[in-house]
Copies of this chain bind each other. A is one copy, B any other.
Amino acid sequence: MSLETEPFRTLLEDLAFVVFDVLGQPGRADHEPLIEAAVRLAADRFATHAAKSDANEPTWDGERLHLIPEIGEALKEFIDGGFLAAPFPESDGGLGLPYTVYQSMMAAFQAANPGTCAYPFLTSAAANLLRVFGNESQKERFMRPMVEGRFFGTMCLSEPHAGSSLADLRCRAEPQPDGTFHLVGDKMWISAGEHELSETIVHLVLARLPDAPAGVRGISLFLVPRNHVGEDGTVGARNGVSLIGLNHKMGYRGAVNTALAFGAESPAVGELVGAPHQGLAAMFHMMNEARIGVGLGAAMIGYSGYRVSLAYARDRVQGRHPDHKGGAAVPIVEHADVRRMLLTQKVYAEGGMSLTLYCARLVDEAEDATDDASRQRCEDLLAMLTPIAKAWPSEHGPIANDLAIQVFGGSGYTRDYPVERYYRDNRLNPIHEGTNGVQGLDLLGRKVLLHRGRAFTRLASEIQSSIERATGFDELAADRDGLGHALGLVVETTGILGKAAASGQVRLALANATEYLHMLGHVVVGWMWLEQAMAAIKGRDAGTTAADFAAGKIHASRFFCRYELPRVDRQAALLNTLDDTTLTMPDAGF
């Protein structure tokens, strides 16, 4: 049974439901066919080489980097199909699609092959950064060819001694008389840092100018192409960027991950992007969307595991019901514990999809806002939701993949089926683009306190409005009450932690920031499930949503409410006491 393409039988329906029915994205007639095209290409060209690129990771022969040819072939179709250009304004050579529609299309590729996705995703993110912060020449010479897929991009943040801690970056940029800069230093964990998929690679590099203040306020952003690019756009000889080594990862193996040296052998000539010392702000403009993208990817790998293990469970006949042991063996999908594992996967994967696509919708709404209040609303919600959209799916997607293996039993532990690869691939997501621990500190240490709690209050009141709307749905009474209870707890806990931080107990208030992140995350995803259930009932009653599909959504909401949401009580009890157990553990006691 080849199951690699199984998720793509249902993916369009699942994405379209979230995007159009739940989130109310307009333009369904125009946009759904685009998502359908993405799903088809993902199934036909991306899922098909995922196992092969996992088994044949990139190699470096000292002069050239080798990837399996299917990666380049798939990316050519991706570019030719307009998927790279999709989110850029038409004035910049793009298709001007709404970000929500773009992310729904990318969801399909993530479900199919996250490794191959790394190349265009980084290119898109880098090009978008140049679109916002680059000068006209940079946009013309670099952004345009990236939107066209002729140049690819990277993001060079981490260094060997500093991953999460950007304040400690050491890479230097030395000003030259001609206005350029020579970059000097090593960069680590650079995905897509070397390959032959494009005419050149545009590295966006964080580095310090000679007069830079210490810490994060002294970081500037530079554009350093692998090859020199002339004023007329001609790609010339290699610039001083050299490959130090490849990182050999547990998963995501199709995405080459490199350590790069700038200026080690010859000058690495770069250009300043934006204002001096403003590099981190620029990078974070991109980073927020990248974080939502990581969450979406984690949810989609979770989705693939769910659909593949469901197909297996429907096919595999084994065991009997405990009250009918003399009967015939049944498909394992009938066993209660298998159903629990499938439902858990469903609520994690589809809950994460809903949350991250909702964030994409907020990006569109902020862009389209015609007044400050509407824009501020979206920005406040995005500020709160971005760390959750990154961390929640990247915590729970891998758990979903773990359950997919368990549904398979021994077979799931072998390389004959894709679920063990999903499990290895998804394990990256809690780490990159800011570890989940960093997301917890961002949420509780910065976002919750932002504008005296305005963003938190906004989020809580949005959830409260949904709960009030749900009073119109009798089938959802228990879900609504459960979410209301959980929301009340998180409001109380947030108040307690906020007061502690304000009174100077910062270290103690933040000691369990990760627990807080998970707690608020569960409330937010419970909200997403309530929204999905309401949309399902509306669609079912209107005859626009299939009854079975709607029943599945309503039941999954109930499952989330009964099996998942109650953990919020435990988290509140722990957080409200300002528990210091981790801080007071004696070092020598470990």
Contacts and interface: CB of A to CB of B under 8 A. Distances in A.
Interface of A: 158, 161-165, 167-168, 188-189, 247-251, 310, 317-323, 329, 333, 335-340, 342-343, 346, 398, 402, 405-406, 409-410, 412-416, 420, 423-424, 427-428, 430-432, 435-437, 440-441, 445, 506-507, 510-514, 548-549, 551-553, 555-556, 558-559, 562-563, 566-567, 569-570, 573-574, 579, 581-590
Given A165-B318, A248-B414, A582 B340 contact: yes
A390 to B, nearest CB: 14
Nearest to A251: B413
Contacts of A247: 410, 414, 416
A521 to B, nearest CB: 15
Contacts of A336: 507, 510-513, 582-583
Nearest to A585: B555
Contacts of A551: 586, 588-589
B431 A423 contact: no
Contacts of A413: 249-251, 427-428, 431
Contact of A250 (B167, B168, B423, B428): B423
A552 B585 contact: yes
B548 A589 contact: yes
B513 A337 contact: yes
Given A346-B590, A410-B432, A567-B570, A340 B512 contact: yes
A250 B424 contact: yes
Contacts of A569: 569-570
A414 B567 contact: no
B574 A310 contact: no
Contact of A440 (B323, B337, B432): B337
B582 A323 contact: no
A577 B429 CA distance: 36
Nearest to A340: B582
Nearest to A421: B250
B573 A318 contact: no
B574 A566 contact: yes
A406 B423 contact: no
A331 B416 CA distance: 42
Q: How many copies of the shown chain assemble into the complex?
A: 2
Contacts of A555: 581, 584-586, 589
Nearest to A567: B570
A323 B441 CA distance: 12
A120 to B, nearest CB: 22
9 contacts: A164-B409, A322-B441, A323-B506, A336-B507, A413-B431, A424-B424, A549-B589, A552-B590, A556-B589
A415 B248 contact: yes
Contacts of A553: 589
A318 B161 contact: yes
B566 A250 contact: no
A569 B572 CA distance: 13
Given A248-B416, A406-B437, 4 more contacts: A250-B414, A250-B423, A336-B510, A342-B590
A165 B329 contact: yes
A449 to B, nearest CB: 12
Contacts of A168: 318, 329
B431 A588 contact: no
Contacts of A402: 398, 427
Contacts of A165: 318-320, 329
Contacts of A510: 322, 336
Given A507-B321, A510-B336, A563 B574 contact: yes
Contact of A318 (B163, B412, B427): B163
Given A410-B189, A506-B322, A548 B581 contact: no
Contacts of A321: 507
Nearest to A444: B322
B562 A574 contact: yes
Contact of A437 (B164, B337, B581): B337
A398 B409 CA distance: 16
Contacts of A549: 589
Contacts of A329: 165, 168
A583 B437 CA distance: 36
